[in-house]
Amino acid sequence: MPGVILVEAIAQLGGVVAQSDPELGPLEDLRLTAIRAAKILGAALPGEMLRIRATVEGRLGGLIQIAGEVEGEKGVLASAKVTLSGRS
């Protein structure tokens, strides 16, 4: 799995986390808007177990800031801060 797909995995999980907040309604048409501070340190090998973490760092209207990382069997493979946008 190439590094760019690992960053996409962070964004996908971040979207699920953000849309699951019981205090805030889900946003429609949620999209990946920006990628910052991305570090791709390796690629995942076939059959490798991955741990993907995503944390909502902030939310302002339809913008959601997510920080995340993907860890493989030998350590961190990728980390990034991504911004998602949607409409209420």
DSSP state of 45: P
Give the span between the Cα atoms of 16 and 13, in whole angstroms: 5
Q: How many structural domains comprise the chain?
A: 1
For the entire predicted model, the pTM comes to 0.92
Q: What is the pLDDT along the chain (88 residues), one digit of tens a residue?
A: 899 999 999 999 999 999 998 888 889 999 999 999 999 999 999 999 999 999 999 999 999 999 999 999 999 999 999 999 999 8
User: Residue 31 sits in which domain range?
Assistant: 3-87
Phi-psi region of 5 (alpha: psi -120 to 50; beta: other; left: phi over 0): alpha
Q: What CATH code is carried by the domain that includes residue 9?
A: 3.10.129.10
Give the span between the Cα atoms of 73 and 49, in whole angstroms: 7
